[in-house]
Amino acid sequence: MSSTTNQPGTVTIGNYLIERLVDHGVDHVFGVPGDFVLGFMQKLEQSPLKLVNTCDEQGAGFAADAYARLRGLGVVCVTYSVGGLKVANTTGQAYAEESPVVVISGAPSLDERRRYPLIHHKVRSYNTQFRVFQQITGASTVLDDPEIACREIDRVLDATRRLSRPGYIEIPRDMVDAKASRPAAAIQVGDDSNPQNLEAALNEALTWIGQAERPVIVFGVEMYRFNLADVAMRFVESSGIPTTVTMLDKAAVEERHPSFIGVYAGALGRKEIQDYVEGSDCLIMLGTLLTDVNLGIFTARLDPARCIHATRDRLAIGLHTFERVRLEDFIHGLAGAALPTRAKADHPRPPAIPSETAPNREPDEPITVEHLFERLASYLTAETIVIADPGDAMFGAIDMPVQGARAFLAPAFYASLGFAVPAAIGAQCARPDSRPLVLVGDGAFQMTGMELSTCARFGLDPVVVVLNNAGYTTERLILDGGFNDVLPWDYSKLVVLFGHGRSMVVKTTGDLEEALMASRKRDGQFFLIDVRLAMLDVSPALKRLGERLNAAATVGV
């Protein structure tokens, strides 16, 4: 199928949608079939796009989300309601964390809708699913009119990329082969900055930054979401200002960069970083989302009067805001400015990567969370993308230095359990030269771990570390009860079930060495490591948070 979008004439709606996905650089679509989407799925299978069908729609949704975070657009394709409503959660996460995922859903034909009041999968009205998705996407459409269907496809795809938020395209099944006219030219939308406001904002910001004694840049997730990472890096480099990231932005900046000070996460992060960032007289937050997790469950002490906070929705400099200043214009302005050279600041550095050949524990010592993360730090290579599930898998990874920009993915704001295993599918499809390292709690694994079966089918080879601590430890710390227990699965036996993959059980530091060594060999199969941890053993990050919260409670904060 050729990509001839702007030529006049007619095209089927299904083919036009596929052409436009290809034009947007998409190579993979994740999904599960159903009768309302079979016709479109057949077209997908016959197209240049590779269809990766997962065990469950939620798996497809998370895979598409990871793909979108790495490639700038991800696609999940499902059937009506039974599939669509299952990806409401993954789409909610993509909305909250600004990930451009397009949901394509099949639906009953227009004729069926007119003739029959009750067709399988219908919930309340034939529009119920569309109305749900209107709430959790940046743009949505039902392709029920061939006259405007192609324009609608363009509108939703463009908005998905421009807003970096999910989009929703519903195709009634009789519309897949309906003929539609191609739009003459792509529509352009978007506001410009007000030039005077932009100039005033830049003048004020640059004067302040120039005079500040201890400025710090917080390099936020929106730099990647809006394709501004290179420009923002120019600002980091030309200014020489020490730079941090939050949990959601981890690896937005290459962690070995000389200006990088480590991850800031309030009291969840290292104390020296918290002190340095909170002691700054000019905190330059570029596209950072101020969420509870990013702020160390609100243990952060950031004074807005000492912050420049630029996001796609708002620009605040100190205590006032500027209207109509686009994020991209502001970042370009900062990157293009000539700033006075400043003396090299004495700032914190991320923990050094320990040498792989220098084990510092006895081989028969029981494995702990702290040792696991310390050891994994030296296991990572330039090809690793670390994918962490919410829970201690994610908190433990805060300080683990990763190699390369964008070598870390975690839903650190919306925090839906079950992200990491399916995200590995999306990540390895998005970057075939990478090898995902999945860090996942046993509770989360029991939600979507079956997607390892999809890895097996498609020859993907993530290394999956299951932090097996007999249930929902993160929740136990807040309030314990039988509801935090899970059945102790023998995770390593999954390879027998699948007839594919390799696995090992790790109880000691010596076992960990063996497992990591064995996992280095790549043979096109996933490698699962079942790490048996004590139920209440937690990462240094969670310990720090607990101590700080306890201390705060005793002084009545």
Ligand X SMILES: Cc1ncc(C[n+]2csc(CCOP(=O)(O)OP(=O)(O)O)c2C)c(N)n1
Binding site for Mg ion (CB under 5 A): 441-443, 469, 473
Select from ligand X, Mg ion, none the partner in contact with residue 411, using the beta carbon and a kind-dependent cut-off of 5 to 8 Å: none
In sequence order, what E strands does 143-195 have?
167-172, 179-181
For residue 77, the cross-strand partners are 31, 104
Nearest approach in angstroms of CB 445 to ligand X is 7
- Rank residues 34 and 443 by Cβ distance to ligand X and give the closer one: 443
Instruction: Please choose, out of 29-37, 46-54, 197-205, 468-476, the segment that lies near ligand X by the rule CB under 6 A.
Output: 468-476
Residue 392 binding result from Mg ion, ligand X, none, given CB thresholds of 5 to 8 Å by partner type: ligand X
- Give me the residues paired with residue 529 across strands: 465, 504
215 binds, among Mg ion, ligand X, none (CB under 5 to 8 A by kind): none
Q: Which amino acid is at 329?
A: D
Contacts of 511 (CB under 8 A, 6+ apart): 367, 504, 505
| Amino acid at site 279 | G
User: CB count, 10 Å around CB of 431?
Assistant: 18
CA torsion through residues 531, 357, 400, 538, sign: positive
- Tell the smallest beta-carbon distance from residue 415 to Mg ion (Å): 14
Torsion 490-493-65-128 (CA) sign? negative
| Burial class of residue 404 in the structure, from the number of CB atoms within 10 Å of its CB (0-12 exposed, 13-18 middle, 19+ buried) | middle
Total residues in contact with ligand X, by rule CB under 6 A: 18
Contact at 8 Å (CB) between 472 and 500?
A: no
Q: What's the CA gap between 380 and 195, in Å, rounded? A: 46
22 or 535: whose CB is closer to ligand X? Answer: 535
From the CB of 204, what's the least distance to ligand X, in Å? 40
Nearer CB in complex with ligand X: 189/479: 479
Residue 193 or 473 having the CB closest to Mg ion? 473
Among 274, 288, 428, 473, binds ligand X (CB under 6 A): 473
Q: How far is the CB of 534 from ligand X (least distance, A)?
A: 11
**Least separation in angstroms between CB 144 and ligand X:** 33
Q: Is 50 helix (H, G, I), strand (E, B) or coil?
A: strand
Using CB under 6 A as the binding rule, whether residue 466 contacts ligand X is answered as no
Map the footprint of ligand X across residues 382-421, applying CB under 6 A: 390-393, 415-418
Closest CA to 161 of 130, 129, 189, 132: 189
Nearest distance, CB of residue 156 and ligand X, angstroms:
27
Residue of closest CB approach to ligand X: 441
Pairing of strands 320-322, 139-142: unpaired
Closer to ligand X at the Cβ: 139 or 512? 512
**Complex with ligand X: residue 416 or 454, whichever CB lies closer:** 416
Distance in Å, CB of 481 to ligand X, minimum: 12
The entry of ligand X, Mg ion, none near residue 415 (CB within 5 to 8 angstroms by kind) is ligand X
Q: Which is nearer to ligand X, 264 or 414 (CB)?
A: 414
370: contact with ligand X by CB under 6 A: no
Q: Which of 443, 449, 462, 501 binds ligand X (CB under 6 A)?
A: 443
| DSSP string of 477-492, one letter each residue | HH--SGGG------GG
Q: Which is nearer to ligand X, 106 or 296 (CB)?
A: 296
Residue 474 near which of Mg ion, ligand X, none (CB within 5-8 Å, type-dependent):
ligand X
Query: 508: which DSSP letter?
Result: B
DSSP letter at 357?
T
Query: Measured from the CB atom, is 57 or 442 closer to Mg ion?
Result: 442
Residue 444, binding choice from ligand X, Mg ion, none, Cβ under 5 to 8 Å by partner class: ligand X
Stretch that binds ligand X, among 136-144, 153-161, 287-295, 467-475 (CB under 6 A): 467-475
Closest CB to ligand X among residues 90, 193 = 90
299 binds ligand X (CB under 6 A): no
Given the complex with ligand X, which of 94 and 393 has the nearer CB atom? 393
Q: How far is the CB of 177 from ligand X (least distance, A)?
A: 38
What are the Cα distances from residue 293, in Å, to 92, 225, 268, 410, 413?
Answer: 17, 19, 9, 12, 6
CA distances from 466 to 225, 446, 483 (A): 29, 10, 20
Figure out which of the listed residues 93, 280, 453, 474 binds ligand X, where binding follows CB under 6 A: 474
Tokens of 23: 């034009």
Residue 444, interface with ligand X (CB under 6 A)? Answer: yes
Instruction: Say whether residue 472 binds ligand X (CB under 6 A).
Output: yes
Question: Residue 396 — φ and ψ, nearest 5°?
Answer: -60, -30
What is the closest distance, in whole angstroms, from the C-beta atom of residue 460 to ligand X in the complex?
Answer: 22
Give φ, ψ of 324 to 5 degrees: 50, 45
Q: In the bound complex, what is the minimum distance in angstroms from residue 471's beta carbon to Mg ion? A: 5
Bridge partners of 267?
265
Torsion 280-282-284-285 (CA) sign: positive
Binding-site member from 475, 480, 485, 513 for ligand X (CB under 6 A): 475
Kindly state the helix (H) or strand (E) to which residue 547 belongs, with its residue range: helix 540-554
Beta strands in 173-240, from DSSP E residues, in sequence order: 179-181, 215-219
State the nearest-atom distance from the C-beta of 202 to ligand X, in Å: 40
- Residue 35's alpha-carbon distances to 41, 81, 120, 358, 393, in angstroms, are 10, 12, 10, 57, 38
Q: Does an H or E element contain 94, and which? A: helix 88-96
User: Least CB distance from residue 526 to ligand X, whole Å?
Assistant: 18
Distance CA 328, CA 325 (A): 9
* Cβ closest to ligand X, residue 84 vs residue 390: 390
The minimum distance between CB 469 and ligand X, in angstroms, equals 5
Angstrom distance (rounded) from CA 311 to CA 300: 19
Q: Which is nearer to Mg ion, 316 or 486 (CB)?
A: 486
Neighbours of 109 (CB within 10 A): 18
Q: Which residues between 422 and 441 bind ligand X (CB under 6 A)?
A: 441
The site for ligand X (CB under 6 A) is made up of 390-393, 415-418, 441-444, 467, 469, 472-475
